[in-house]
Chain A
Amino acid sequence: MEAAIELEDLQRRYGERIALAGVSVRVEEGQTLAVLGGNGAGKTTLLRVLAGLLRPHGGNARVLGAELPGERWKLPTRVGYLGHEPLLYRDLSGRENLRYHARLHGVGDERVEEMLAAVDMAERADDPLRELSKGLVQRLAAARAVLHDPALLLLDEPRAGLDPAAAELLEPLMGRESGRTRVLVSHDVDGALAEADVSIGLKDGRPAAVGRELYR
């Protein structure tokens, strides 16, 4: 069976600085990969490479059957990305933002209403984002990430800014029960490992043993 993600000796630099080196991992369809490491370890860079936002500079990377970087054009319809930025416009309302992304992805407005209901934002869907709290914006960002029903979810601290009730609310969309292949970046080592089928640790961009030592 073809893996959802297959990385072999993946490398990425920013100028002369090595951001990722020697990263290898295989994730099967439906599995969750936990990516752990301290600040600046290369976790977000790895997610951005997997999303097709950054080109790998060495090694082999295959995501959902697409060779990177050559076939990264195949990814947008099948990958959902929830990063540090919500990728939503502050001057538009939640509904306008989701409808905009729905049109970019060729998804109908009924799916937008479904997602607004799923993240319990239907009542405040017409408020401009600049008037919403960080937690409410994060709910809309989660709805944006799964709007096109992606097979692979790339999640960078997805629960940041969410209260426990909101985190629970989003579980069906981006938790294990969503059934999607997931890559989960988190500083919550125990929580991430509890969710993960596969895990990798990163330190200064290189693979490292998973554990508390990653943060020292």
Chain B
Amino acid sequence: MMSGARAILRKDLLIELRTKESVPAMVLFSVTVFVLFHFGLDRDSLDGELASGVLWVTLLLAAVIGVSRLFAAEREQGGIDGLLLAPVDRTSLFVAKAAALFLFLTAVELMAVPAYAVLLLGPGLGGALPELLVILALANLGVAAVGALVAALAAETRARELIVPLLLLPMLVPLLIACAQATEPLMRQNPGPEELGRWLGLLSLYDVVFVLLSVAVFDFLLED
């Protein structure tokens, strides 16, 4: 199973490296939104709930772009039939697409989070970076699982630009709550990892549930 997933993932990464269509668009979107908040709120420095909310809403909206384009190469270059004609089970396809999205999100955050810190986080993250990295990793896993599922559902529909955000964003609400709540104490003037374990637990539970659900449902997607 894993050789098929590896082949699809390798192909997706190679196409993204060549075309640079998803990650740069997601980075540009995130940075633009941070700039808009910077001027819209007329503040150089946010903290607490506002800082956490701005970061996570922006990252999740940027993820919509990545999810919308997750099957773009297959759709635009006739590859979905190529996948269906190969002896590759749908779980391999899910694993490959979710892994590609996870890597795209990580690449975006490597650029977007420092831009966020410069534009909107006056005191900086200080010693809270390790905790934030754990939250980002767990969030990326959840978004990757849900995103791959939604992308496959929308892959062969005409109104996919509408379907992706309409399906994806409501499914991400529990993840947004957990991420924002886990991050909020880290972004106070006096940071402290209060209740971090509880919210990380919720994030982990979300990830487990949606990975299992996606694997179970993915077999029935992409059918004629």
- B residues near A (Cβ < 8 Å) are 3-4, 6-8, 10-11, 14-15, 18-19, 73, 77-79, 81-88, 223-224
User: Please, which residues of chain B bring their CB within 8 A of the CB of A4?
Assistant: none
Is B19 a contact of A87 with CB atoms below 8 Å?
no
Which residue of A76, A85, A86, A100 contacts B11 across the interface (Cβ within 8 Å)? A100
- Bound together, the chains give a CA A144 to CA B78 distance in angstroms of 14
Query: Which residues in A have their C-beta under 8 angstroms from that of B87?
Result: 76-77, 104-106
CB–CB A87/B7 < 8 A: no
Partner of A87, one of B10, B82, B223: B82
Query: Are B224's CB and A103's CB within 8 A?
Result: no
Q: Which residues of A contact B85 (CB under 8 A)?
A: 51-53, 76, 79, 81, 87
Q: A89 and B86: CB pair below 8 A?
A: no
A101 B84 Cβ-Cβ under 8 A: no
Which chain B positions have C-beta within 8 A of A90?
77
Minimum CB distance partner of B11 in chain A = A100
Question: A61-92: which residues lie under 8 A (CB-CB) from chain B?
Answer: 76-77, 79, 81, 83, 85-92
> Is A96 in the interface zone, CB < 8 Å from B?
yes
Main secondary structure of the interface of B (DSSP, over half): helix
Complex contacts, B8 vs chain A, CB 8 Å: 104
Residues of A within 8 A of B78 (CB): 85-88
Q: A55-B223, A103-B6 are in contact. List 4 more A-B contacts (CB 8 A).
A: A55-B224, A89-B11, A92-B15, A104-B88
The CA-CA distance from A176 to B6 in the complex, in Å, is 36
Q: Tell me which residues from 138 to 197 in chain A have a Cβ below 8 Å from any Cβ of chain B.
A: 144
Size bracket, chain A contacts: 20 to 34
Nearest-Cβ distance from residue B71 to partner chain A, whole angstroms:
13
With contacts defined as CB atoms under 8 Å apart, how many contacts are there between chain A and chain B in the complex?
71
Q: State A77–B224 Cα separation when bound (angstroms).
A: 20
Contacts of A53 in B (CB 8 A): 81, 84-85, 224
**Minimum distance in angstroms from A89 CB to a CB of chain B:** 5
Min CB distance, A33 to chain B, in Å? 19
Contact B79 A89 (CB under 8 A): yes
Chain B residues positioned under 8 Å from A144 (CB to CB): 82
Known interface pairs A53-B84, A76-B85, A104-B88; A89-B15 also in contact (CB < 8 Å): yes
Chain B: CB-nearest residue to A84: B78
Chain B residues with Cβ under 8 A from A106's Cβ?
3, 87
Is A54 positioned at the interface, with any CB of B under 8 Å from its CB?
Answer: yes
C-alpha gap A136/B19 in the complex (Å): 22
Question: A89 to B88, Cβ gap below 8 A?
Answer: no
**Complex: A161 Cα to B133 Cα, angstroms:** 53
CA distance A77 to B168 in the complex (A): 35
Residues of chain B within 8 A (CB-CB) of A100 are 7, 10-11
The 6 closest A-B pairs by CB, nearest first: A85-B78, A103-B7, A87-B82, A104-B86, A76-B87, A91-B18
Quick check: B86 and A101 within 8 Å, CB to CB?
yes
CB distance from B139 to the nearest CB of A (A): 29
A128 to B19, CA, bound (A): 12
Question: Which residue of the partner chain, among A83, A96, A103, contacts B14 with CB atoms under 8 Å?
Answer: A96
How far does the Cβ of A62 sit from chain B's closest Cβ, in whole Å?
19
Q: Is B73's CB under 8 angstroms from A89's CB?
A: yes
A91 adjacent to B86 (CB under 8 Å): no
